[in-house]
């Protein structure tokens, strides 16, 4: 009987130890902090031929919280360059400084333009400020604006027009993904 009681005690102790050990919580996997924007404004400022002096605002595109642009389509002129400023708003406040504070985790991509129609040069390490050059005429196409958060920038910036299949390899998730119809021509 003592032997049976001793074996029963060992089994109960083992089960109790196992149940306590299995109740430990796993460390939570941190989620990528996603920004939520209630308004996004793209301001295209036409540049002089030297590319250094601003002539004035040529075009403004405003997206609401759902990502809908304020107009059905927009136009830019072939042979012209435009400095584009992106303004991001959350709860009515401009949050560009917060995005710039995480410069190593963010990058804008601009996709959808047919080859050779546009060229973009980053003027910062994210894309909040840069220059679009309109290289050739093209009827309306859909230009997509994507802000990736949590991207690994161990290499130089990915090209501005990297397709989704390429930029997702750098990790992260889309904080912003909006689009608008754009036409490029001679006299727009």
CATH number, domain containing residue 115: 2.60.40.10
- Is residue 46 in a domain? yes
- Is residue 90 in a domain? yes
- Is residue 23 in a domain? no
Q: Please write the tens of the pLDDT for every residue from 92-132.
A: 999 999 999 988 889 999 999 999 999 999 999 899 999 99
Full domain range(s) for residue 72: 39-185
Q: How many beta carbons lie within 10 A of that of residue 145, not counting itself?
A: 22
- Is residue 140 in a domain? yes
Domain count, the chain: 1
pTM score above 0.75:
yes
Position 93 scores a pLDDT of 96
- Is residue 107 in a domain? yes
- Is residue 22 in a domain? no
- Is residue 95 in a domain? yes
- Is residue 108 in a domain? yes
Position 32 scores a pLDDT of 42
Percent of the chain exceeding pLDDT 90 equals 57
Nearest Cα residue to 66 out of 179, 172, 167: 179
In this predicted structure, the answer to whether residue 49 has a pLDDT above a threshold of 90 is no
Q: Token pair for residue 37? A: 């924007």
């Amino acid at each position: 009987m003592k032997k049976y009681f001793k074996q029963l005690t060992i089994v109960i102790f083992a089960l109790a130890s196992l149940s306590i050990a299995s109740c430990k919580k796993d460390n939570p996997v941190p989620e990528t902090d996603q920004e939520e924007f209630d308004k996004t404004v793209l301001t295209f400022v036409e540049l002089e031929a030297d590319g250094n002096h601003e002539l004035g605002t040529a075009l403004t595109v405003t997206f609401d919280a759902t990502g809908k642009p304020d107009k059905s389509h927009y136009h830019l002129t072939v042979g012209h360059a435009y400095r584009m400023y992106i303004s991001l708003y959350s709860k009515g406040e401009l949050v560009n400084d917060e995005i710039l504070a995480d410069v190593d985790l963010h990058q804008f991509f601009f996709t959808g333009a047919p080859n050779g129609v546009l060229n973009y040069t980053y003027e910062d390490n994210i894309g909040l400020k840069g220059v679009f050059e309109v290289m050739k005429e093209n009827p309306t196409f859909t230009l997509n604006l994507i802000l990736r958060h949590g991207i690994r920038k161990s290499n130089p910036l990915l090209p501005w027009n990297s397709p989704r299949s390429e930029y997702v390899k750098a990790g992260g998730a889309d904080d912003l993904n909006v689009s608008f119809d754009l036409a490029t021509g001679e006299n727009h």
